[in-house]
Each structure stands twice: as C-alpha cells, then as structure tokens.
Amino acid sequence: MDRDDNVTGQIRQKLVDSKERWAREGRLLTGRESRPDIERLPPGQREVKTWPVLDLGMQPDVPTSRWRLVVDGLVEEPLELDWAAFMALPQAELVTDIHCVTAWTRYDNRWTGVATRDLLALARPRPEARYVVCHGHDGYTTNLPLSKFAAEDALIVHSWEGKPLTREHGGPARVVVPQLYFWKSAKWVSRIELLAEDRPGFWEVRGYHNVGDPWREERYG
C-alpha cells in the first residue's frame, strides 16, 4: 500500500468510527414517529437541494461492458445479466424522495430503471426466501427484508433526471429503495442474494438499524 492509499484508508476508518459512535449515542434521534400520508418530511430530517455523496470512499469504475448483475441464493432461476440484457427488461420511471440517516432528505428524484419486482419475477424466489443482501462492487453489503426490497417503488436504476447515473452516485446501476433510509440502497450493485435467514450488512453490524424505516426513525439499534 502506498502512502496515499494509507491516508485514504485512515480517513475512511475515521468516518466509519464516528458513524459507529453516532449509532451508540443515538445521534439525531427525535423519538418521534410520523406518517408519510400526513407529512412529507420524516422525523428529524431536513430538506436539501443538493445531492450529497456518501460511501466508503472507494468509487469503483465499472464500465457497462464489464457490468454484470447476479441474482442468486434461494431462487429457482439464478440470473446473470449483462448490460444489454438488463436494459432489455421493462423500464420503469418513478419520482421518489431520498431520506439519508445523516438527516438530509432530497425530494423528487426522477429515476429510470428496472422494478425489483420484475427482476424477482424472472428469478422466482423460493418460498423460504425472506431476506435479501445487496452487494456492491466496492465490497459494501446491506440487508433488507424481501418484502421491502420488492416494494412497488423499489428499482435498480441506471438513470437520474434522464441522464446516466454518475459513478459517484453508484453508476452504472444502483438499488433505490425509497421507503428505507438510503444506506439500504446499494451503489454499484453487483449481486442480489436471497436468503432464508437474515444476515446484517456493513452498517447493520456497526450499530445501524436492521430495517431502517425513516417514518419510524429506525436509525440505529
């Protein structure tokens, strides 16, 4: 490892350490619950107009020529899609809000991509499949209940505001699960693994909530 890598590594570790401390201290918690049909802003959130970039500091460069999406685990029909096969699937366009656990919310993001439901319909989950782990090309993982992953507004997106998703935001393709905090939406998605038993991901083993519903303020726990 050269000196630069070392410095980046230290910064990243500091960031991870401070977020673990936030989780232990329950930082930003208001103790409120709220309902999406009554309020637009979940408890403890504030609206931002920009789109912050958050990740582990390594932003993998995955050209669409090398991009593959694997759907495996407890499925009848394991998939390995290349870019052309992915883009040939039915395309959905949706406008949804982003809620990040660090308390910013960004309204009205226009996504284009493939509905997770359509992907799952191809792979056909076995009856015992109840959880999903999403993997990113940077080694990131995050877990969620299959029911949340399969929500009708959950997508694997390749475009934002009609333009290809940028690398810093997880391009060429990332998961977007609008009903959960944004750490549940894996950038640079490489693999969707279906499981019978839950398996906590990167932030979930570091004190973040296992489900992460912003309306119930499930930040940590």
Ligand X SMILES: Nc1nc2c(c(=O)[nH]1)N[C@H]1C(S)=C(S)[C@@H](COP(=O)(O)O)O[C@H]1N2
Measured from the CB atom, the residue of 7 and 53 that comes closer to ligand X is: 53
Cα–Cα distances (Å) from 87 to 2, 81, 106, 124, in that order, read 39, 9, 26, 19
186 contacts ligand X (rule: CB under 6 A): yes
User: Beta strands 174-176 and 46-47: pairing type?
Assistant: unpaired
Q: Is 95 in the site for ligand X (CB under 6 A)?
A: no
CB of 58 to ligand X, least distance (A): 8
Footprint of ligand X on residues 96-125 (CB under 6 A)? 100
| Dist CA 85 CA 188 (whole Å) | 17
The answer to the question of residue 187 lying near ligand X (CB under 6 A) is yes
CA–CA gap between residue 168 and residue 60 (Å, rounded): 9
User: Please, what is the minimum distance in Å from the beta carbon of residue 91 to Mo ion?
Assistant: 27
Is the CB of 27 or the CB of 124 nearer to ligand X? 27
CA 21 to chain centre: 22
Where on the chain is the footprint of ligand X (CB under 6 A)?
Answer: 51-56, 100, 136, 138, 140, 169-170, 182-183, 185-188
